[in-house]
Amino acid sequence: MAKTLVIFDIDGTLLFSNKVDSQCFADTYEDLYSERFPTIDWTKYPHVTDDTIFGTVIKNRFGRTVDYDEMQIFKDAFVSKIRYKRLRNPELFEEIPGAVNMIEYLQNEEEVLLGIGTGGWKQPAMVKLEHLKFDTSDMYMSFADGHVARESILNASIDMARTQHANIERIVYIGDAVWDVKTTRNLDLPFIGIRKEGDLEVLRNIGASHVLKDYLEPQKFLEYIQEARAPKPE
């Protein structure tokens, strides 16, 4: 049986935690380096991945590359803040309506395989996935650790899935941001946009063929998985 691999982003796609995540990243930097974080406008960075964002800030500020120990210290402090916020203010980690039910629905579809491909590091990403409380054991997951670009992250998830399933005939990525559209355009992958605030035109205007504000209609979402196209060239 032919398989369809559906890969999800996390922030803004399964969980609406972008603001707290970004602020924790900035606060961690300010705690460790005793100065203001340059900007949480992620479009200002060459690639929207945690490795690239952190590495770019250190390079621009101190004129050097980040070594493994320095990055691990930052990751540990960052994930501690995310864990603290999740326990103290769980309402800041808001499920996109219907996301968990949709994941569980797709896990019961024999022809569907699921993956995670996020620009965030694994440690904080897993805190968010644990918050949503669905089974990730059968998902092909790739994170920002060791990856400069989002294209590399998605390719890692795809490669993992293909090692176990030679019959993957379709791959669809689900994301919420402008950079998700650009990534799938670069990879020529079908894309479905999620915009919780309902501003669906943000992604449609840059080439997304299908955009939803939630996951409350499973059958409609399944149809979109089959219909979605790679974003049109700009």
User: Is residue 225 scored above 90 in pLDDT?
Assistant: yes
Q: How confident is the model at residue 198 (pLDDT cuts 50, 70, 90)?
A: confident
User: Is residue 234 scored above 80 in pLDDT?
Assistant: no
Coil, strand or helix at 37: coil
Secondary structure (DSSP) of 111-175:
TEEEEEE-SS-HHHHHHHHHHHT---TT-EEE-STT-SSHHHHHHHHHHHHHHH-TTEEEEEEEE
User: Does CATH place domain 3-17+94-227 in 3.30.70.120?
Assistant: no
> What tens digit of pLDDT does each residue of 79-122 get?
999 999 999 999 999 999 999 999 999 999 999 999 999 999 99
At 202, the amino acid letter reads V
Residue 17: the pLDDT is 86
> What tens digit of pLDDT does each residue of 29-65 get?
999 999 999 999 999 999 999 999 999 999 999 999 9
> What tens digit of pLDDT does each residue of 124-177 get?
999 999 999 999 999 999 999 999 999 999 999 999 999 999 999 999 999 999
* Best CA proximity match to 99, nearest among 171, 16, 32: 16
Within 8 A by CB and 6+ apart from 189, the residues are: 154, 171, 172, 173, 230
When pLDDT is averaged across residues 195-218 and rounded to a whole number, the result is: 93
What are the CA-CA distances from residue 30 to residues 23, 25, 35, 39, 136 (Å)?
10, 9, 5, 12, 33
- Quote the pTM value: 0.95
User: Is residue 18 scored above 80 in pLDDT?
Assistant: no
Q: How far apart are CA 115 and CA 5, in angstroms?
A: 7
Within 8 A by CB and 6+ apart from 168, the residues are: 2, 3, 4, 5, 113, 158, 161, 162
